[in-house]
Structure 1
Amino acid sequence: MKLLSTLIPSTLQGLLSKPQPEGEVDEPLEMPILRRRPRANDLVRIACPDPTREDLIRDRHQHRAQWLVRQERWEEMAAALHDADQSREMTPGAMPVAELMAFGARADVILAAEHALFDGKPARDAPMMDGIEALEHVLEEHAGNAMIACVVAQTHIDIGWAWRGTGTEGEVPNRNRSAFAAHFDRARDILAPYEQDTTGSALLAATRCALLGGTGAEPRAVADRYERLIDLNPANPRPMRAMGHHLLPRWHGSYAQLELEARRTAARTEETWGAGGYTWVQFDAITCDAQACANLDVPFFIEGLRDILAHRPDPHTANLLAAYCASAIGQAPSDDAASEVRAEIADCARWIVRDHMTELHPMLWAHAARGFDNNLRVRSPSRFAAAGRADAMRIITGLFQREIEAGKRVIFTEGRRQITLPG
């Protein structure tokens, strides 16, 4: 056990040990209260479900399709996929169930290929073709099934990207570039019989849009292909985000085309999103292109943020937009032409967090801090989520600095209102 003297500051030790003259009595010494400094988690309290409701729902649909194909029940999987596609079923966070199932159906093959290509080239004995060849046999056995064709075509597209990686064109080895092109060519051939599809399949339309990553398509053709997909399911923001990215000059478009299509999309989807269509189209484009960001109609974009949350006030969307404003935009370089625009958007995190957040979704914050890179390889999901939670808590604590400096604690409630209590 520690001696008492080690627990008392030296200045107090002197006072306590000071001898008292005979007949004199000092006033009682008031010892200061020694408090530990509150931790950030004590100052701001917000529910952090793990997994979130959105995660649970997404995992359920993915695992269902994955389980069915592992049991070789392809017809049953394709029927369920068709039903989800035709009904436009979505999760609360606006993720199409058909896309989740299609990923679950190809997940085993994709993960094996990505693992083999983790360092850019496979080992000599890596069974690179086994999985995709098995899927090609399934495709042959179910000729004419559009849903299975989508799954196999998407597998080729994903493997193509695994070969290519995220480097610039000059950084990609010739062998990898050739493999990328070959897989995209095969995906295009698989989808060719369904070019005149009249079933209104959003999954088929989404797969055709995914093919754009391997082509030099004209801006108008890119916009037309995405427009069809968006019109099939305007409640799904993912095609709007992808279209904006693909209309950047580095891909298939121009800044003028990006602005035009953002405004056209906002007009077509006004009933679903208000001004949010403009915001969704610009969403990813302005995070990776400073000039696109500098060109932004900021008031229209912010109006879109408000309309998105008005039409979809769920925790997933609130976290997505808060993390986007505070982290993806707010922590980007600030020494270019877009710095003022970024500052205005970053400031929106304040009212989004205060007025709309009820719980914290760390994975969204972790991805936002890395620019929502779809090709990001996460070695440890737990550490990745922990980093996202730390970023979020640091940012949110900063947004309530005035209350905290006044000695209060902030507690988030389900009613989207924070309670402040004495510290």
Structure 2
Amino acid sequence: MLKRIAPIANRLRSLAPRRQAQAPKSPRVRRLSVPAALVAEDRLNIPVNERALEECEADLIRERGRFLVRQERWGDLAHAMRQAEAQRDSTQGGLPSVDLLAFGARADVVESVEQALTSESADDENLLLDGVMGFEAALQDHQGDPMIALVVALTHIDLGWAWRGQGWPEATPPRHERRANAHFDRARTLLSRQCGATLQSPALLAAGCAARAGGSDGALAVADEYETLIDLAPENPRHMRALGNHMLPRWFGSYGALELEARRTAVRTQFMWGAGGYAWVYFDAIVLDAGACARVDVPFFLDGLRDILRARPDQEMVNLLTAFCCVALPGGAGGNDPGRDNRARIAAAADWLIRDHLTEIHPLIWAHASDRFVNNLHVRSSRQFASRGRADALRCLSALFADEIRQGQRVTFTPDGLRLEAL
């Protein structure tokens, strides 16, 4: 098998043999640090969590998946993925370990193709296909193991998006769209041979939903598949967010279908999220689509935000919801915005989120929010990306507390809550 992926490995600096000889070490967790350059002449003080435990934990699991594939230990990878899913292992922030293992396993191949498509190697057929064909051979060697099939299918989905880019099919060059569709078709074929519902596998079901991006299914079929997935893994809000995105008119649904599925999801997940299921389904949809924002039930959505925090009061979640209100949602506004009033009413929730719940900044969450949570975003420098997120967060906080700062007060965030002090 090693010969099958050697052309890919030889093109990646990170595959040096001395790095393959041992399992990855756990990254160091950087503790909270106060920003070196404080806003408003030292009148705004908030700890900045440069490297949250959640991010370190996720990196470690991803690197485990990458390591096992580099060592040709496909059986060990499949076993680790099955065990992680059976036990519903996840990071502190709720990222399923099976998804992270699969992400790391395919990272080298996907990164190589993405690099080729942005360089002079875009016509090198060997470079574009050798890696994924090696994965296909590994699947044959392991008699169609469901977890290996999942990795191969997800690789094809990622490569489909690499060919399509961030545009829509009609805006994609014909050759690129043909390649994208071929990868999406292959992913659907692989996943059709595995029954995620029968295997009780949220990962397989989620991959099946993601593979629909290359198809033309109706709203009902898509919604039914998401319903099965969400009912199997209601603790994972990413599935509800993906459902909302796919219910938009630009994909498979309509504004009426989006509203219906949001309410149905809220009822089915009420035991865990309260009204939060409604907010999760609309979460990305109202950022991406002004029409959806114009139609969302604002009081229901805001109740959902409060219930989400009751279920998950950790700072990762507080930062996600706050960055959504401060950065992602306003950033989705256009020149002629039919959702302007609803957007403003929801964005105003940032006030109580910050004053009542925020105790530290997580820069990467804010940076992703400023890009409207795009999943296939290429980050060239994680340090610069985090720095941008930190700057966005501090600007939002400075604007919120502008009156207090002008009145000569110092705004300090502590683990016990917000403190305002006269200078």
The alignment's TM-score, normalised by the length of structure 2, stands at 0.88
Cα deviation code 1:26-63 (max 9, x no counterpart): xxxxxxxxxxx984372211111221111111111111
User: How far off its partner does 1:71 sit?
Assistant: 1.4
State whether structure 2 residue 349 is matched by structure 1 residue 348: yes
- Aligned position for 2:381: 380
How far apart, in 2, do the equivalents of 1:87 and 1:191 lie? 22
Asked which structure has the greater CA Rg, the reply is 1
Between the two proteins, what is the percent identity of the paired residues? 49
User: How far off its partner does 1:336 sit?
Assistant: 2.0
Task: Give unpaired runs (5+ residues) of structure 2.
Answer: 1-36
How far apart, in 1, do the equivalents of 2:120 and 2:303 lie? 43
Larger mean CA deviation between 202-211 and 298-307 belongs to 202-211
- Aligned position for 1:391: 392
- Aligned position for 2:101: 101
Task: Give unpaired runs (5+ residues) of structure 1.
Answer: 1-36
Q: Secondary structure at the match of 2:128?
A: coil
Relative to 1, partners in 2 of residues 1:301 and 1:44: Cα closer, same or farther, differing over 3 Å?
A: same
How far apart, in 2, do the equivalents of 1:41 and 1:158 lie? 46
- Aligned position for 1:227: 227
Give the letter aligned to residue 169 of structure 1: P
- Aligned position for 1:362: 363
Residue 90 of structure 2 contacts residue 96 of structure 2 at CA under 8 Å; is this kept in 1? yes
Give the letter aligned to residue 363 of structure 1: L
How far apart, in 1, do the equivalents of 2:269 and 2:107 lie? 32
Give the letter aligned to residue 319 of structure 2: N
User: How far off its partner does 1:421 sit?
Assistant: 2.7
Give the letter aligned to residue 248 of structure 1: L
Give the letter aligned to residue 387 of structure 1: R
Q: Secondary structure at the match of 1:322?
A: helix
Relative to 1, partners in 2 of residues 1:241 and 1:38: Cα closer, same or farther, differing over 3 Å?
A: closer
How far apart, in 1, do the equivalents of 2:125 and 2:217 lie? 37
Give the letter aligned to residue 360 of structure 2: E
Give the letter aligned to residue 266 of structure 2: A
Q: Secondary structure at the match of 2:348?
A: helix
Q: Secondary structure at the match of 1:411?
A: strand
Larger mean CA deviation between 336-345 and 258-267 belongs to 336-345
In the TM superposition, what are the counterparts of 1:265-414 in structure 2 within 5 Å?
Answer: 265-333=265-333, 335-414=336-415
Residue 363 of structure 1 contacts residue 385 of structure 1 at CA under 8 Å; is this kept in 2? yes
Q: Secondary structure at the match of 1:42?
A: coil
How far apart, in 2, do the equivalents of 1:408 and 1:87 lie? 50
Q: Secondary structure at the match of 2:411?
A: strand
Relative to 1, partners in 2 of residues 1:121 and 1:168: Cα closer, same or farther, differing over 3 Å?
A: farther
Residue 196 of structure 2 contacts residue 202 of structure 2 at CA under 8 Å; is this kept in 1? no
Relative to 1, partners in 2 of residues 1:38 and 1:159: Cα closer, same or farther, differing over 3 Å?
A: closer
User: How far off its partner does 1:196 sit?
Assistant: 7.1
How far apart, in 1, do the equivalents of 2:244 and 2:55 lie? 26
Q: Secondary structure at the match of 2:412?
A: strand
Cα deviation code 1:372-419 (max 9, x no counterpart): 11122222221121111111101011112232122121111112x112
Residue 279 of structure 2 contacts residue 305 of structure 2 at CA under 8 Å; is this kept in 1? yes
User: How far off its partner does 1:119 sit?
Assistant: 5.8
Cα deviation code 1:340-378 (max 9, x no counterpart): 001001100111111111211111111111211112222
Q: Secondary structure at the match of 2:251?
A: coil
User: How far off its partner does 1:123 sit?
Assistant: 4.5
How far apart, in 1, do the equivalents of 2:66 and 2:393 lie? 33
The alignment's TM-score, normalised by the length of structure 1, stands at 0.88
Larger mean CA deviation between 84-93 and 330-339 belongs to 330-339
Residue 325 of structure 2 contacts residue 350 of structure 2 at CA under 8 Å; is this kept in 1? yes
How far apart, in 1, do the equivalents of 2:359 and 2:400 lie? 15
Residue 331 of structure 2 contacts residue 372 of structure 2 at CA under 8 Å; is this kept in 1? no
Q: Secondary structure at the match of 1:50?
A: coil
User: How far off its partner does 1:188 sit?
Assistant: 1.7
How far apart, in 1, do the equivalents of 2:121 and 2:355 lie? 47
Larger mean CA deviation between 53-62 and 301-310 belongs to 53-62
Residue 92 of structure 1 contacts residue 314 of structure 1 at CA under 8 Å; is this kept in 2? no
How far apart, in 1, do the equivalents of 2:83 and 2:119 lie? 39
How far apart, in 2, do the equivalents of 1:297 and 1:99 lie? 32
User: How far off its partner does 1:218 sit?
Assistant: 0.8
